[in-house]
Amino acid sequence: MLRLGRREFGTHEPVIMAIVNRTPDSFYDQGATFRDEPALARVEQAVAEGAAIIDIGGVKAGPGEEVTAEEEARRTVGFVAEVRRRFPDVVISVDTWRHEVGEAVCEAGADLLNDAWGGVDPRLAEVAARYGVGLVCTHAGGAEPRTRPHRVAYDDVVADILRVTVGLAERAVELGVPRESVLIDPGHDFGKNTRHSLEATRRLGEMTATGWPVLVSLSNKDFVGETLDKPVKERVLGTLATTAVSAWLGAQVYRVHEVAETRQVLDMVASIAGHRAPAVARRGLA
């Protein structure tokens, strides 16, 4: 059972986490949801299309202009409070590695801290424990926040992913984060080249076998682009193919840009696996 905010999700229930970037320089939407009204419209649309979690980020993952903790909080805290007011039942996640920002967004109503940089600030898990919120424990290969991988190498990338993410998850629980609210994430593209991310996907079953709920953040990422030689705006099909494989191998939470398309893929895989009945079953019955 996965418990986040007011929501509980069954073991075989796929969960969509919709991305809402509160940045002027996102790699995907170039700041389309930087202002409040477009961002709130994005939340409303994502919830209508089947997202249970809204993931709010105030700093883009890649290199760029410096964003201080104060500026990151300015971009996210008030928005978290407004989403909480308008959508009381949605799970609000905040993509941050900084404990100061984590504390501020938890005060504003966040339910989940999405630490995409692998515990680089160990105090973030302490904040999650203090507020009783969830935590995403990600493998980033020891990379510094907002840096790109350079000649990165592993003896066994999946073994390293398991060591790091399970270690972070166990530490979080020891600190007091509710066990049912901790997820692990292989960190596609973070501290990895394309072959590493493909191997992490191919062997995702080793992560799901740990018993920790697995979150995957695949949406339009560089490993998809390099695999298919496609620019950012032409990576949806590759993303959905990777989503289907991840679903078959047992991932539970999917951080995405395209909510409606992902919902169909996840529903189809769940029905093939026998975890979901078809929405309609008339064929051959009359």
Positions marked catalytic: 221, 255
DSSP-assigned beta bridge partners for residue 21: 57
Distance from CA of residue 186 to its chain's centroid?
A: 10
Torsion, CA 56, CA 204, CA 124, CA 122, rounded to 10: -150
- Residue 195, sorted as left (phi over 0), alpha (psi -120 to 50) or beta, turns out to be alpha
Torsion (CA) 265, 56, 82, 89 in degrees, nearest 10? 40
Q: How far is CA 194 from the centre of its chain?
A: 19
Q: Are 98 and 59 in contact (CB under 8 A)?
A: no
Pairing relationship of beta strands 7-9 and 15-21 according to DSSP bridges: unpaired
DSSP class of residue 214 equals B
Angle at 140 between CA 176 and CA 118, to 5 degrees: 20
